[in-house]
Amino acid sequence: MLNYSMFNSQFKNSKLKMREAHNSKLKTQNAQSAQFKTQNSKFKIQRMITLHELLASRDARHATQQKLLAEHSGKTLVCLTVVMPGSVKRNQQSLTAAHAAVEAMRKAFGQEQLLELDLETGYEAYLITPMPLLEAKGIAVNIEDTHPLGRLFDIDIINADGVPVSRDAIGEKPRRCLVCDHEARYCMRMRWHTQEEIWAKINEMVDSYVEARKS
């Protein structure tokens, strides 16, 4: 005969263990969330942007590129954006990286025509140069690979069709991951690194760069 008293006791104990496990998981998630908020509290955040705003900014950037290509036919267009994970695209770190990138671009390409846009969806800069397409790509790759904040720079060379020139076109290797030394595209696709790891690396890079500039 089934012992209902024992069954009910085992069932209650099982539910209690499940509840305790769930509560423990929630505490872990809350702790991680609090840690992430603490890391971001040091940033001068304006606001989080929505997915709609992010997609709209990409369309606007493409339109700007097309306009500049049409106005400067026969010249090369260099487009800068900043690699910044998460929904906050304009903060102390992104602005530091953007200003460093613009400075590096001016030095490398000369005092060419430069348009800078300080947007909540992320800093953008556009440079027009008479330099040949592949030569400009070589300079862009060199900045990305050698500058202390280069891994936060996304410097595209846009061809006449509005398409970014790939690193393959000049025989260069793919970009490396911000955190490890693997190819960045694989780490992004596989989500090998947490937001905390990525932000810790960004903080380290930016802090080191700022301190070095002081000396």
Q: For CA atoms 69, 74, 80, 81, give the dihedral sign.
A: positive
Nearest to 88 by CA among 35, 50, 48: 48
Give the CATH number of domain 51-171. Answer: 3.30.70
d(CA 109, CA 185): 28
Q: For position 46, what pLDDT does the model report?
A: 60
Q: For position 51, what pLDDT does the model report?
A: 94
Q: For position 15, what pLDDT does the model report?
A: 44
Q: For position 4, what pLDDT does the model report?
A: 42
Q: Are 202 and 153 in contact (CB under 8 A)?
A: no
Q: For position 191, what pLDDT does the model report?
A: 85
pLDDT averaged over consecutive 10-residue blocks of the chain (215 residues)? Answer: 45 46 43 35 62 96 96 95 92 96 94 88 96 97 97 96 95 92 86 91 96 90
| Stretch (H or E) spanning 76 | strand 76-82
